[in-house]
Structure 1
Amino acid sequence: MIFIRRHRFTSRRTARPRQKKIGGQSSAGGAAGIVVPIFMVLSLLPAACSSQGELLSQADADARYLALGDSYTIGESVEADRRWPAILARNLENRYPHSSISVQYRARTGWTTGNLLSSLMETPPENSYDAVSLLIGVNNQFQGLDFSTYRQDVPRLIALARNYSSEGNIFVLSIPDYSYTPYGGMLSPGDRERISREIDEYNSWMEEYCRQQGIPFVNITPITRQAIDNPDLVADDGLHPSAQAYRLFAEEIIRQIDIQALLDLE
């Protein structure tokens, strides 16, 4: 395991924290006297996993689903079958027992919108999907990137996601709030408030953009803010959502949008 070097946190009232590395990327968050496991960079899966965990070829599946994002999509610190896209597929297969869903990922821990864009442009997905999801942006905020970068990148990502779906079926998830985790609890109150405020700004902009574009938007941020009172919603690394939180993500997707229609399940 690689760890972030310890350093003293400086309140925003006096100076911005010194830059540190997260997932191979520069970041501007910090805490006094803690060591946070670095976001491991995971390889893309070569094949889709069915909800039962075995390899399922795209040709054998009734529905094909592509999940785009970062550590929140690839499920940092949980088993592969406990990522929210895998749980979502399993829940839908239970509701529609005559259907099978293959899930593929284009997601890595530490990715910003720019990293995801670069990956998709350099190596476009080879298959056509029934639905595509997008959950991205936390690393833009974490690294202190200018918000204009997010505003410029998102329309391009949305356009690509639509192209990857045979029917243009996509949906977007809001950014979780990591200030409510044990990691966030080690930050100053001022920095926790700043993180939540900035994540709200990202999510508000994305929700409005999705509304204008007619794209289903799922707000899962309130689930992550329950972690301050429910530690079971946080993985062992003290930063990422747990399998229990991802289960709630999947349930919220089914509750908020007509996901079965996007995947054309019967």
Structure 2
Amino acid sequence: MKWMISILILMTACAAESPMNDVLTPDPDEVPGQYRYLSLGDSYTIGESVAPEERWSVILTELLRKSNITIANPEIIAQTGWTTADLMEGIKSRNPKGPYNLVSVLIGVNNQYRGQSIERYRTELRELLQQAIGFAGGNIERVFMLSTPDWGVTPFAKGSDQAKIAGEIDAFNAVAQEECKKLGILFIDITPLSRTARNDVSLVAKDGLHFSGKMYRQWAEFALPTVQNRLTK
């Protein structure tokens, strides 16, 4: 397990230095009447080990356009290794300017991996969700959260206590779902989809730890009907 921790720490450090994993993507050119999308998260949102066009929020944008929704490329604030506290700092540094027509949140895996408490996660996530609502101009219908996927099914986790990882991921997701429900925010559970990677290596990225563009497309397709419905109300 020590060697796995060392590799993950090394990957996180490299990601922080690499231009491929910057805190944000450039602001898209704004077009009058075009929807704006802010995507907040960690390695799963920035798309560690996949091409920019394979990020799940970029794929979701592509699918929305095919559904005749005029939407700009997502503004992404995310970085590999980020916890809820790190994401709050990233938002503070970037200071995105709303209102956005769509705001997504995907955060929690690094809280779990670092052994942080559920109570801390709940408190910090609550603040992040409130911020997300603010970025959406107070329109709760335009905010949604994806559940944390289960990294325990990846080759990287081989030899670790995968049942323990799954149980902890489920516990963090239960908190996320509770907090979203309190605020009336849409919670989309993609964790079962992530667990199908246990028997399909094509759903895992080349680093053996994160997920592939093929998996991210599944998440985007799963989220599409509900998100589309919210945008067209």
Is the pair's TM-score, using the shorter chain for normalization, greater than 0.5? Answer: yes
Amino acid at match of 1:146: S
Q: CA deviation at 1:224?
A: 0.9
Amino acid at match of 2:147: S
Asked if the contact 2:37/2:71 (under 8 Å) is kept, the reply is no
Distance in 2, Cα, partners of 1:147 & 1:219: 18
Asked if the contact 1:170/1:262 (under 8 Å) is kept, the reply is no
2:31 counterpart residue number: 59
2:230 counterpart residue number: 262
Amino acid at match of 1:87: I
CA distances 1:222-262 after superposition (whole Å, capped 9, x unpaired): 1110111111110010011100000000011024x2x1243
2:175 counterpart residue number: 205
Amino acid at match of 1:119: G
CA distances 1:78-113 after superposition (whole Å, capped 9, x unpaired): 1101100011011111121x6243311011111000
Match of 1:144 among 115, 130, 135: 115
- Seen in structure 2, the aligned counterparts of structure 1 residues 242 and 38 have a Cα distance that, compared at 3 Å, is farther
Match of 1:40 among 15, 30, 37: 15
Asked if the contact 2:39/2:77 (under 8 Å) is kept, the reply is yes
Where do 4+ consecutive residues of structure 1 move more than 3 Å?
6-9, 19-24, 36-39, 261-265
1:222 counterpart residue number: 192
Q: CA deviation at 1:206?
A: 1.1
- Seen in structure 2, the aligned counterparts of structure 1 residues 22 and 182 have a Cα distance that, compared at 3 Å, is closer
Confirm or deny that 1:231 pairs with 2:201: yes
CA distances 1:124-181 after superposition (whole Å, capped 9, x unpaired): 2024210100000100001111221101101100010111113342000000000000
Point out the structure with the larger strand share.
Answer: 1
Amino acid at match of 1:157: L
Q: Which residues of 2 match residues 1-16 of structure 1 at below 5 A? A: 7=2
1:177 counterpart residue number: 150
Match of 1:241 among 208, 211, 214: 211
Asked if the contact 2:104/2:146 (under 8 Å) is kept, the reply is yes
Distance in 1, Cα, partners of 2:9 & 2:187: 27
Point out the structure with the larger helix share.
Answer: 2
Distance in 2, Cα, partners of 1:65 & 1:170: 10
Distance in 2, Cα, partners of 1:210 & 1:175: 14
Q: Kindly tell me the number of residue pairs found equivalent between the two proteins.
A: 226
Identity %: 36
2:129 counterpart residue number: 158
